[in-house]
Amino acid sequence: MRGALIGCGFFARNQLHAWRDIDGVEIVAICDQDEARLTEAGELFGIARRHADAAEMFAEGGFDFVDIATTVGSHRPLVEMAAAAQVDVICQKPFALNMGDARAMVEAIAATGKTLMVHENFRWQSAVRAAIDAIRGGAIGDPFFGRVSFRSGYDVFSGQPYLAEGTRFIIEDLGIHILDISRALFGDVDRISATTRRINPAIKGEDVATMLLSHGSGVTSVVDCSYATQRRPETFPETLLEIDGTGGTLRLDAGYRLTVQGATEAVRDVAPPVLPWAEQPWHNIQESVLLIQKHFVDCLRSGAAPETSGQDNLRTFALVEAAYLSAAERRSVALSEL
Ligand code: NAD
Ligand code: 89V
């Protein structure tokens, strides 16, 4: 399976490492408008075919799928180029700038019959996946309450300076992952209400968001996110869980400790491995990159739809839009409004 990658920035390095770890996959071409980044990635990963222009790379062809690792502003034109070139696509989150673009991108790829997966990797973190498997397996009966929580004071702006510049920050960049975990655990959402705050005066967007979700399954979940939380030990980038069900409770505590109290009690260490190319504390996210990319390849081979297909991700992206609308208008928002 031959792939091409567009966007050789901060995060793409993880994706390139992960592609190298997957049997039968080779990245044959890379693209970046920034010459220094293109050269650095090409040298590091031994990829000779390098393009400054994505249109030129698509015109030359020679690959089966494209991995779009650029920031959100370029996602729609690049997905449309991929549709015209009739290749399978994996695209980073946030998928689009707005719902209209997101729907158009899903339709463009659907018309080709190719696969479109959004790189929504947090639900693939091994600790989170252990919790999802336990809930789906009925370990605590039918869940009726969940708290999905990400609170940190980690400096994300040094690696990703653009995060300080946007008028939208934590819901669009990080909350999107945490909302997606809530969907993976409890299913689709009917209504959401949200409040936001900006604590850090050096950034433009909100760095605290608290969201209340009513799921179609009857579960109520609280999704809370903060980059203004000074805690020791720092838990970046862990998502913590607290779930009540008709037959017990599940907790994913700091330090990757999973406790399931049902008919019996089980406490497990679900810490992710530190892959040879990974570094703490990012190893949790880095392992999930490998797992989601393996899932993409498995789906291409079997013909199954990826868990976070473009179509599926419309429902996570709609939660982001609905949360901002709710916070701006100080009201609860039905997802059917979007
Ligand atoms: P970045 O700015 O460091 O890198 C993006 C690169 O894309 C830059 O080198 C830029 O020159 C290049 N680029 C932009 N438009 C292009 C175009 N049209 N053609 C060719 N090259 C182009 O950004 P980043 O921090 O690596 O983030 C990239 C994406 O990954 C973002 O959408 C971000 O939200 C996402 N991200 C995801 C995770 C995750 O865990 N899933 C983690 C971090 C970042
Ligand atoms: O996963 C992400 O999208 C990253 C981070 C974890 C730093 O928020 O931007």
Between the CA of 15 and the centroid of ligand 2 the distance, in Å, is 14
Please determine, for residue 233, whether its predicted confidence score (pLDDT) is greater than 90: yes
Instruction: Please give the pLDDT value at position 166.
Output: 96
How far does residue 7's CA lie from ligand 1's centre (Å)?
A: 6
Residue whose CA is at the smallest distance from ligand 2 atom 7: 156
Task: Find the mean pLDDT for residues 15-19.
Answer: 99
At 25-81, the pLDDT tens digits run: 999 999 999 999 999 999 999 999 999 999 999 999 999 999 999 999 999 999 999
Q: For ligand 1, which residues put their CB under 6 angstroms from it?
A: 6-12, 31-34, 37, 54, 69-72, 74, 92-93, 119, 121, 160, 162, 173, 285
Q: Is 237 in the pocket of ligand 2 (CB under 6 A)?
A: yes
Across the chain, mean pLDDT equals 98
Q: Considering every ligand atom shown, identify the ligand nearest to the alpha carbon of residue 4 and give its number.
A: 1
32: CA distance to ligand 2 center in Å?
Answer: 20
Ligand 2 and 174: CB distance under 6 A: yes
The ligand that comes nearest to the alpha carbon of residue 281 is 2
CA of 173 to the centre of ligand 2 (A): 6
Three-state secondary structure of the chain: CEEEEECCCCCHHHHHHHHHCCCCCEEEEEECCCHHHHHHHHHHHCCCCEECCHHHHHHHCCCCEEEECCCHHHHHHHHHHHHHHCCEEEEECCCCCCHHHHHHHHHHHHCCCCCEEEECCHHHCHHHHHHHHHHHCCCCCCEEEEEEEEECCCCCCCCCHHHHCCCCCHHHHHHHHHHHHHHHHHCCEEEEEEEEECCCCCCCCCCEEEEEEEECCCCEEEEEEECCCCCCCCCCCCCEEEEEECCEEEEEECCCEEEEECCCEEEEECCCCCCCCCCCCCHHHHHHHHHHHHHHHHHHHHCCCCCCEHHHHHHHHHHHHHHHHHHHHCCCEEHHHC
Whole-number Å distance, alpha carbon 14 to ligand 2 midpoint, is 13
**Domains assigned to the chain:** 2-114 (3.40.50.720), 123-279+309-337 (3.30.360.10)
Ligand 1 centroid from CA 204, angstroms: 19
Nearest ligand to residue 178 Cα: 2
ipTM of the complex: 0.99
Q: How far, in Å, from the CA of 74 to the mean position of ligand 1?
A: 9
pLDDT at 263 over 90: no
Q: Mean pLDDT across the stretch 2-26? A: 98
pLDDT of 19 above 90: yes
Examine the pLDDT at 199 and tell me if it is beyond 90: yes
99-141: per-residue pLDDT in tens? 999 999 999 999 999 999 999 999 999 999 999 999 999 999 9
Ligand nearest to the CA of 225: 2
Q: Check pLDDT > 90 for residue 207.
A: yes
pLDDT at residue 191 greater than cutoff 90: yes
Per-residue pLDDT of 133-187, as tens digits, reads 999 999 999 999 999 999 999 999 999 999 999 999 999 999 999 999 999 999 9
Q: Which atom of ligand 1 is nearest to the CA of 288?
A: 40
Q: What is the pLDDT of residue 41?
A: 98
Position 183 scores a pLDDT of 98
Mean pLDDT confidence for 204-228 = 98
Tell me the pLDDT tens digit for each residue of 264-307. 999 999 999 999 999 999 999 999 999 999 999 999 999 999 99
Atom from ligand 1 closest to the CA of residue 7: 7
Which bound ligand lies closest to the C-alpha atom of 207? 2
Ligand 2 centroid distance, CA of 72 (Å): 13
Verify cis geometry, omega within 30 degrees of 0, for the bond prior to 273.
no
| Mean pLDDT on 9-32 | 98
Q: What is the pLDDT of residue 253?
A: 98
Model confidence band, residue 3 (pLDDT cutoffs 50, 70, 90): very high
